[in-house]
Structure 1
Amino acid sequence: MEVFSKGIHRALVPIDSHMENIAIVELAESASSYRMLTQMDLLRFLKAHASEPELRGVMSHSVSQLGGVTDIIFGVTHRAKVIQAIKCMRTAALNAVPIVEASSGLREDHSQLINGKGRKLIGTFSSTDLRGCPISEMQSWLQESVLDFTETLSASPSHTASTQVTSPRELVACRGESNLAEVIDKAVTKQVHRVWVVDQQGLLDGLVSPTDMISVTRASLLSESS
């Protein structure tokens, strides 16, 4: 849990080792096999055991109360082109960005990332979406707006036949007062790596990532044990 609470998404875990009281390096070398463990695996475990006494307390608290909401959030407007969004995400090392409504009263550069906080959330543009994009159509889609792209992709037969649980247009969101158990359930059920936080008007207020979920859970468990 400590490793995943620091932003590591996956780790090889040595198994079938019968040695005790040895250093981690020696343990890894003595193992006959390994298993890949991911943040999502840990979230599935937490979801399955959320009602147990050790977890019941932290799971009942809101993500806002636990300090699990990241409120610095960069996004793109719905008028940004796909190629522009890809370049922005690559530069900022982001795997996904929220698509927010462009301002009607301000002139803004749709080719750049913007502060999405307080903007109307209307979608998500993720690098995962590109996996469902037919290569033959990719070149023409690069000049579409990110919003049109997600709509087109959702209607694409190749995307419909894919195993993705969540449509690019589907918003997986919660409120700041949503409890941790609810947010983890959304992430696991929809198989997403971010849950957007919105207010009553649907305006973007932040996000909760798997790292955030695991970090606040670990902090709470350590606090209770000390």
Structure 2
Amino acid sequence: MQQTMEHSTAKHYSEADQSTQRLRDKKLGDLMVNKRRLVEVPYTASLAHTMNTLVANKVLAVPVAAPPGQWIGAGGSMIMEADKHTGTVRKHYIGLATMLDLLAHIAGNEDQLMDEGVHDGFDLDQKMSVPVSSIIGHCLEGLSLWTLNPNTSPNFSILDCMEVFSKGIHRALVPVDSHLDNVSGVELVESASSYRMLTQMDVLRFVKEHGSSGSELDNIMSSTVSDLGAVTERVFTITDRTKVIDAIKCMRIALLNAVPIVRSSDTDNEEDHKQLVNGRGRQAIGTFSATDLRGCHFATLQTWLPMSALDYTETVLANPLLAAFNNAAGSPTTRELVACRADSSLGEVIDKVVSKHVHRLWVVDQQGLLKGLISLTDIIRVLRLAILSEQNA
């Protein structure tokens, strides 16, 4: 469902709260400084072109644009780009195309891969030639378009942004200038001369760069993620025998962009390597993520889909050319396990997700056994609540 989050929070705080207030007083516009023009694809773009766009721009999702008046937008919304001077509508954003959408489409729902390799009927070129509009909504995120509008709500603060992203929304469109018309209920007509994209990672990067000073915020950053309630104890994994194609299918069903890899159980011969398994208490030996495939030309996927996800991370990602791409994109390569402990501080966790450019950390104990995970949503949620708690103390 498309939503526009508008808040009016003009409050005054004491000098004792000045350091936290500095972060709270930052507005949405402060986060949008130096944000590049929106990367998008037309509704007629093939999946091959869409994947190349994702790869070239090092992003995981792009809005899909269509001619106005011909499409129903996500959730019945009308988010449009219009000429700033004449108001003439040029395009209508109808949804998002994510890397996971593309990978799920490639993997398909049919058993096209055999143990010995790709089945003769598997035609990757044909799968990648269909228009991107045909896969919107295969993953839930593609059906959601969210906007944050600083023009109609001048007091929209960074904490208001956090409130939106703490609900599991990964990214939102921000109009440079806009006009809004409420039609009925939750339906909305919005037009702007251009948009920018704001993500959860943008917010945490901003916090890391601008919110490190001041005793009140220091107290929050030094608190452990366990004490703050940021750790999700249930963690789903794949095994070292799970194939890339099955990992993609599992991630699509569970709406996950990354999963840890654990060793196959020696005692349970009935463990299904095509399904997600409970990883709590097991040794994590790697991570498989949708981002692992963003530096790959789609034609090579035909060779890699039947591989185990572990082999893929150990061999394909170790290729010097792909390793160089991932390093440039700020992503970890090979089997690196980006993890933390339950007693890690919030500041340490934020620093790690931003510097490693990952969207979740695996929580492990002293023996390296999985105890849970922390997502960007978890981090933003507890950070926002802690700041509000400090203000109300």
Whether the 8 Å CA contact 2:216–2:390 is kept in 1: the answer is no
Instruction: Tell me by how many angstroms 1:121 deviates.
Output: 0.6
Q: SS of the residue aligned with 1:197?
A: strand
Q: Deviations over 1:83-118 (max 9, x none)?
A: 111111122221111111111121211111100111
Q: Deviations over 1:13-40 (max 9, x none)?
A: 34468xxxxx997xx9697654322111
Partner of 2:250 in structure 1? 88
Larger CA deviation: 81-90 vs 187-196: 81-90
The percentage of counterpart residues that share the same residue type is 62
Whether the 8 Å CA contact 2:342–2:365 is kept in 1: the answer is yes
Partner of 1:181 in structure 2? 347
Partner of 2:4 in structure 1? none
Structure 2 counterparts to residues 17-28 of structure 1, below 5 A? none
Whether the 8 Å CA contact 1:132–1:158 is kept in 2: the answer is no
Structure 2 counterparts to residues 87-166 of structure 1, below 5 A? 87-107=249-269, 108-162=271-325, 163-165=328-330, 166=332
Partner of 1:20 in structure 2? none
Partner of 1:78 in structure 2? 240
Structure 2 counterparts to residues 19-98 of structure 1, below 5 A? 33-48=194-209, 49-98=211-260
AA of the residue aligned to 1:170: E
Partner of 2:54 in structure 1? none
Distance verdict in 2 for CA 1:110–1:67, change over 3 Å: same
Higher RCO (C-alpha under 8 Å, 6+ residues apart): 1
Partner of 1:211 in structure 2? 377
Partner of 1:5 in structure 2? 166
Distance verdict in 2 for CA 1:85–1:16, change over 3 Å: closer
Point out where structure 1 has 5 or more consecutive residues left out of the alignment: 18-22
Task: Please report the RMSD computed on the Cα atoms of aligned residues, expressed in angstroms.
Answer: 2.3
Q: Write the distance in 1 (CA, Å) between the matches of 2:193 and 2:248.
A: 41
Partner of 2:119 in structure 1? none
Q: Write the distance in 2 (CA, Å) between the matches of 1:65 and 1:211.
A: 16
Q: SS of the residue aligned with 1:206?
A: strand
Distance verdict in 2 for CA 1:140–1:15, change over 3 Å: closer
Q: Write the distance in 2 (CA, Å) between the matches of 1:41 and 1:208.
A: 17
Q: SS of the residue aligned with 1:155?
A: coil
Distance verdict in 2 for CA 1:13–1:91, change over 3 Å: same
Distance verdict in 2 for CA 1:101–1:24, change over 3 Å: farther
Aligned residues: 220
Partner of 2:148 in structure 1? none
Q: Write the distance in 2 (CA, Å) between the matches of 1:30 and 1:12.
A: 12
Instruction: Tell me by how many angstroms 1:200 deviates.
Output: 0.4
TM-score normalised to structure 2 length: 0.52
Q: SS of the residue aligned with 1:111?
A: coil
Q: Deviations over 1:102-161 (max 9, x none)?
A: 111212111111001111011111111112234343222212111111112222243123
Q: SS of the residue aligned with 1:192?
A: coil
Whether the 8 Å CA contact 1:187–1:193 is kept in 2: the answer is yes
Whether the 8 Å CA contact 1:68–1:213 is kept in 2: the answer is yes
Q: Deviations over 1:190-216 (max 9, x none)?
A: 111011110000011111111111100
Q: Write the distance in 1 (CA, Å) between the matches of 2:215 and 2:176.
A: 28
Partner of 1:170 in structure 2? 336
Whether the 8 Å CA contact 1:125–1:168 is kept in 2: the answer is no
Q: Write the distance in 1 (CA, Å) between the matches of 2:191 and 2:268.
A: 62
Larger CA deviation: 148-157 vs 212-221: 148-157
Larger CA deviation: 180-189 vs 4-13: 4-13
AA of the residue aligned to 1:110: H
Distance verdict in 2 for CA 1:29–1:61, change over 3 Å: same
Point out where structure 2 has 5 or more consecutive residues left out of the alignment: 1-161, 183-188
Q: Write the distance in 2 (CA, Å) between the matches of 1:31 and 1:37.
A: 16
AA of the residue aligned to 1:164: A
Partner of 2:129 in structure 1? none
Larger Rg: 2
